[in-house]
Amino acid sequence: MPKINADTIPFEDTCGRAVTINQLVFHGGSVQKGAYPWLAALFWANSSAVSYTVSYKCSATLISQLHVVTAAHCVKRKNRGYDETLDAKDLLVKLGKLNIQEWTYSPGEKIIAPKSITVHPDYISSHSDADIAVLELIERIEFTTTIRPICLWSGPTNLEVVVGKLGTVVGWGMDENGNITTSEPRQVSLPVVSHEDCLSSSAIFATQVTGRTFCAGFRNGSGPCNGDSGSAFALQQNGRWMLRGIVSISVSEHATRHCDLSNYVIFTDASKYVDWLLSFFK
């Protein structure tokens, strides 16, 4: 049997498969390198005549050699009271790297700029519906053991088929100790709940939950928090990880404006946007 070069395995053989098995996130667990090789960190590179600063913004997910997907609100900013999409030149994407506070290069890691940013045309600021955006990278990424794409959802897209199933969210967001971001990602598993359960849990969700979103969580203080926006909600099917959702909106505590994880978290239902995502591959 011929040997396979892990650095050049084609997409269909790598998507959703991690080489490392791993035994945002409030009360989350640590992540081993290579356990979620599609995990990407999105940074805002802000330059001026006198300074150049880079700050962590959101999580993102590698879906092909040229594309990462994130939440639309992650690539927006306020400018004189209006929402505008960030310029591609103002963003950087880190792939294959766990510690986002390190900027030294190590084998199997990549820091790359996007070529373009496309926000879904239906997205409206501060709403969870169509909260999805695609970044096209300036060059094709070579797949390795630590940089691989997640699979796009296939099969039924109706929510009923996944209600009760546990999905995994991984991110660098605020933790239970009050750290605004964590240097290394943390993971947590959350169950999908029905629209009925979500809507009946709080009147807050009435204007946010749509046919293209879903809610998930245990409502026990664990889950994605501030800074975990854009993270994938990944479900395993037939041994592969698939992109079912993207962290969109959580309820905020009135006093701190931090996430209130006694409530469910709203996710963009990525399965409803597969055709749109596939249009970028052409």
CATH code (residue 123): 2.40.10.10
Note the pLDDT of residue 6: 38
Give domain status of residue 13, yes or no.
Answer: no
**Residue 273 burial (CB count, 10 A):** 23
Q: Is 198 helix (H, G, I), strand (E, B) or coil?
A: helix
Give domain status of residue 24, yes or no.
Answer: no
Same structural domain for residues 137 and 207? no
For residue 69, CA distances in Å to 73, 74, 88, 114, 167 come to: 12, 10, 14, 11, 18
Same structural domain for residues 171 and 145? no
Same structural domain for residues 197 and 258? yes
Give domain status of residue 25, yes or no.
Answer: no
Same structural domain for residues 72 and 128? yes
For the stretch 115-120, contacts whose Cβ atoms lie closer than 8 Å and that sit 24 or more positions apart, written own/partner, are: 115/88, 116/88, 117/75, 117/85, 117/86, 117/87, 117/88, 117/91, 118/280, 119/72, 119/75, 119/76, 119/85, 120/72, 120/273, 120/276
* pLDDT one-digit tens code per residue, 136-172: 999 999 999 999 999 999 999 999 999 999 999 998 8
Same structural domain for residues 105 and 184? no
Structural domain count, the chain: 2
Note the pLDDT of residue 102: 84
Please indicate, yes or no, whether the overall pTM of this predicted structure exceeds 0.85: yes
Note the pLDDT of residue 175: 66
For residues 106-122, one letter each, b for 16 or more C-beta atoms within 10 angstroms of the residue's C-beta and e for the rest, the string is eebbbebbbeebbbbee
Give domain status of residue 141, yes or no.
Answer: yes
Same structural domain for residues 132 and 167? no
Same structural domain for residues 223 and 130? no
Same structural domain for residues 158 and 235? yes
Note the pLDDT of residue 219: 86
Same structural domain for residues 46 and 142? yes
* pLDDT one-digit tens code per residue, 164-218: 999 999 988 766 666 667 788 888 899 999 999 999 998 889 989 999 999 999 9
Same structural domain for residues 121 and 231? no
Indicate whether 39 pLDDT > 90. Answer: yes
Residue type, 162: V
Domain that holds residue 53: 37-149+276-281
Same structural domain for residues 168 and 199? yes
Note the pLDDT of residue 235: 97
Same structural domain for residues 142 and 51? yes
Give domain status of residue 217, yes or no.
Answer: yes
